[in-house]
Amino acid sequence: MRNFRLKIFCEFSAALNDNDSYLSYLLKFTEEKDLFSEMVKKYQSGILNTREFFHKLYELSADVFKSIPANETEFAEFSGSFLKFVNYCSDNDFEIKIFSDCIDSFTEPLLKKHNLCLKSYSGIFKKDLLSGKSEIFYPYTDEYCTLCNTCRRNILVSHTNDHENELSVLIGDSVSDSCVSGFADIVFAKGKLASYCWKNNITYFEFNDFEDIINKISKPEKRKFLKQKNEARIRRKDLFLGG
């Protein structure tokens, strides 16, 4: 069996104890709670795509976004199994990248709290100190797609080298992970991503926490599945070549 090097691409919400915690945090400080809850329902039912949802969310909760302290970690916490998984990957030289549709005001403080030097991809909250104006900048969108704030597909494809025995592993739980699931060699899914993979005949491994993933990839007798998926490899190549 070839010795592949795993490249882990993990959804930020999948690593948290409560994957809706940042929404709960915003709801706590938003005056228009009924309107906020209605927006969340429309997003979860697919009426609003991710970019539409976060645009409306920012308009509704702009003052809350502005007031988030630079070191805010109150809204969320990584699960213990995720922190254990990070140590496991470090010991085995597996690179982890984090992506999210929310903003760096949520992701970066939590990474720093646990001294995790992981590359993260998210929106960037900017505030002009002179004018007092603020905006959210999304540097990782796809110019031809308006569905997500952070294009997970492009991130995975551009950071997976098929010629150097790299194996892309997607860990996700949200509808925003749907597009990239067809480009990953291995998919660990739960929640809405698991439902999408099941409906669209995409091979995946369901997990409850990250210890399930460790057990799956660490035991020699279970490592036969660690191989490049031909369909995913072809999709990555076609996208890379502009196909």
Encode pLDDT of 97-114 as tens digits.
999 988 888 888 899 999
pLDDT of residue 243: 56
pLDDT band at 69 (very low <50, low <70, confident <90, very high): low
Give me the pLDDT at residue 19, please. Answer: 62
CA separation for the pair 243, 102 (Å, rounded): 30
Q: How far apart are CA 33 and CA 53, in angstroms?
A: 15
Residue 223's pLDDT is 67
Q: Are 131 and 213 in contact (CB under 8 A)?
A: no
Distance CA 204, CA 189 (A): 6
Strand partners of residue 24: none
Q: In the predicted model, what is the mean pLDDT of residues 84-91?
A: 97
Q: Could you write out the three-class secondary structure of the chain?
A: CCCCEEEEEEEHHHHECCCCHHHHHHHHHCCCHHHHHHHHHHHHCCCCCHHHHHHHHHHHHHHHHHHCCCCCCCCCCECHHHHHHHHHHHHCCCEEEEEEEEEHHHHHHHHHHCCCCCEEEEEEEEECCCCCCEEEECCCCCCCCCCCCCCHHHHHHHCCCHHHCEEEEEEECCHHHCHHHHCCCEEEECHHHHHHHHHCCCCCEECCCHHHHHHHHHCHHHHHHCCCCHHHHHHHHHHHCCC
For the ranges 34-43, 82-91, 127-136, 210-219, the maximum mean pLDDT occurs at: 82-91
Please identify which residue in the block is written with the tokens 């959210």.
Answer: 136
- Dump pLDDT digits (tens) for 209-233: 999 999 999 876 666 778 889 999 9
Query: Which amino acid, residue 81?
Result: S
Written as six digits, the tokens of 242 are: 């502009």
- The average pLDDT across 136-163 equals 91
Average pLDDT over residues 197-215: 96
pLDDT over 90, % of the chain: 49
Location of structure tokens 């938003």 = 30
Q: How far apart are CA 53 and CA 37, in angstroms?
A: 12
CATH topology for 5-18+79-122+140-240?
Rossmann fold (3.40.50)
pLDDT at 180: 97
Which range scores top for mean pLDDT: 58-62, 76-80, 222-226? 76-80
Locate tokens 């254990």: which residue?
84
pLDDT interval class at 1 (50, 70, 90): very low
120-136 CB burial, b ≥16 within 10 A, e <16: bbbbebeeeeeeeeeeb
pLDDT digits (tens, 9 = 90+) for 114-123: 999 999 999 9
pLDDT classification of 80: cutoffs 50, 70, 90: very high
Decide if pLDDT at 128 tops 90: no
Q: What is the mean pLDDT of residues 7-14?
A: 96
Lowest-confidence segment of 65-69, 93-97, 99-103, 153-157 by average pLDDT: 65-69
